[in-house]
Amino acid sequence: MGVLITVLAVFAVAGLVLLALSVRNVQQYEKGVVFRFGRLLPDIRGPGLRVIRPIGDRMRKVSVQTEVLGIPPQGSITADNVTLTVDAVVYFKVIDPVKALVNVRDYPAAVSQIAQTSLRSVIGRADLDTLLSDRDHINAELKKVMDAPTEEPWGLRIERVEIKDIALPESMMRSMSKQAEAERERRARVIAADGEFEASQRLSDAAATMADTPGALQLRLLQTVVDVSAEKNSTLVMPFPVEMLRFFEHQSREADGAADGWVTHRKIRRPAVSAAVKIPEPAVPAPVVPAPAVPAPADASAARSLSGERVGSGGKRVGSRAEVAQGRRDNWPAQTDAEEPRNG
């Protein structure tokens, strides 16, 4: 009796062990793939408690959650020959557990390697401006390039690819900052010019309105006086019309013209010559015998006196230059009138 109890106990323990070996718990986010003596069974076990043969069957659980894989920084050269370093992140999930286990070994590592190569390939075909300004286009192209070798053969779906950071050289960053600064300055100047243009139009409209209503101009002038007196009480503002300044300027110009044209604009009246009067031919002058040269005084300073007078060749004293010039100006009209009948 004791032996029978012992045998039953052994069988019970063995049954419990076999039951424990044959029961598998599959989570909701997992799929179970069963291999029997190395051969794949077609049935994929869903979530819950699943029973397999304790001897000969092996179950592999595959997560169908979306996995996040970071791509290490990759040095690449863009299409416009700019060297930079780019790192990205890949979001993928398993859509076919059988292909993910059978067709590829360690599929996360495979996805990482193909993401690195695809990233370098896409960066090499794009220029720097597109890479910096159009990230969505680059991400979509990366996803398209990675989907081809992973979805159909490996049973993996690339859901999203994002470029995290782009490291540029220091010289390129300085050049880009200068370009951005110049662009901002250009925009500021354009905005300031537009503001000046609009302000000039408004001022032109205001000037036209004030020209039609003289009282508005006077009110504006009084308002300016009030504003100035409110800010600086020690300042006295005296409005002065601009028309008066223009009047004084016109009068000064006329006075200067009359003073300059006293001699130059004076008209000399001469008798008209009749056409019937025969004009005698000019007489040939007799040859002039040069007078004997008078030797200059030994002392050059003796030729001038202290009063500014000069001594002529015959020893006759001549007045100063100012007196001679004054006499010529005083006698000029008389000499001209005296020479008119002679010329006629």
Cβ partners under 8 Å of residue 212, min gap 6:
none
How does DSSP assign 49-102, residue by residue? EEE--TTTEEEEEEE-S-EEEEEEEEEEE-TTS-EEEEEEEEEEEES-HHHHHH
Mean pLDDT of 70-90: 89
Task: Tell me the mean pLDDT in the region 146-173.
Answer: 88
Which residue's entry shows tokens 């720097």?
Answer: 128
Q: What is the mean pLDDT of the chain?
A: 76
Residue with tokens 């990482």: 112
Closest by CA to 340, choosing from 265, 263, 271, 279, is 271
pLDDT at 170: 85
Q: Tokens 């008078």 — which residue?
A: 294
For residue 242, give the H/E element and its range. helix 242-264
pLDDT in the model for residue 182? 92
Predicted confidence band of residue 234 (pLDDT cuts 50, 70, 90) = low
Q: How far apart are CA 108 and CA 94, in angstroms?
A: 10
What's this model's pTM, rounded to 2 decimal places? 0.52
Give the residue-averaged pLDDT of 326-343. Answer: 54
pLDDT band with cut points at 50, 70 and 90 for residue 193: very high
- The string of DSSP letters for 254-286 reads HHHHHHHHHHHTPPPP-PPPPSSSPPPPPPPPP
Confidence of residue 339 (pLDDT cuts 50, 70, 90): very low
CB-side neighbour CA atoms (13 Å) of 240? 8
Q: How confident is the model at residue 111 (pLDDT cuts 50, 70, 90)?
A: very high
d(CA 178, CA 170): 13
